Amino acid sequence: MHRGWRTGARPVLAVQTRVAEKIWKPHTTVAAVCERDGRYLLVRERIGRREVYNQPAGHLEAGETLVQAVVRETLEETRYRFTPTALQGVYRYCPSVSTDKTYLRFLFRGKVGVRLEGDLDQGIIAAEWLSYDEIVDCRAQHRSPMVLQCIDDYRRNPGFSLDVISEDFA
């Protein structure tokens, strides 16, 4: 015990320092890679004044598991029901060195069924099936470098069993 401290007491300076510290937290996102007949499901969306391509993707919401989030986001952005079959990978992306904004993406591979009726999520222009060559050709229009990287990873390896995600702490 430090001199002058009562049992259980904390120094005032340490408490003030912890309160004043900013805790950095990444934005947790999920994304889906779906392939059908050699074509990949992407969304064309408007970000500011740009039209860009991305996998169906979005933020994890409070109370959701990662699997629930990717199923929801894929449906909202494409109107396809998504069934995850594997965790393809985990990606950390920092869009700019001038900000501490960081995205932690959990990428799932899986299958989609029939397309359901309904409106696409706000900002989504269309859900489109593109060949690998078409995706490479439009890479200047990708929302981030993760778009092509995720598809390349999908093509290279089968991903990880969904069992790697704890059911108790998902």
DSSP letters for 127-152? EEEEEHHHHHHTGGGBSSTHHHHHHH
Q: Where in the chain are the domains?
A: 27-157
CATH architecture of 27-157: Alpha-Beta Complex (3.90)
* The pLDDT of residue 4: 45
| Mean pLDDT (10-residue bins), the chain, 170 residues | 46 50 89 97 96 98 96 98 98 87 96 95 97 98 97 97 88
Q: Which residue has the tokens 């099936």?
A: 129
**Four-residue CA torsion sign, 40, 140, 71, 81:** negative
**Whole-angstrom distance between the N-terminal and C-terminal Cα of the chain?**
39
**Model confidence, pTM:** 0.84
pLDDT of the residue at 20: 54
Other C-beta atoms within 10 Å of 100: how many?
11
SS3 of residue 127 by DSSP: strand
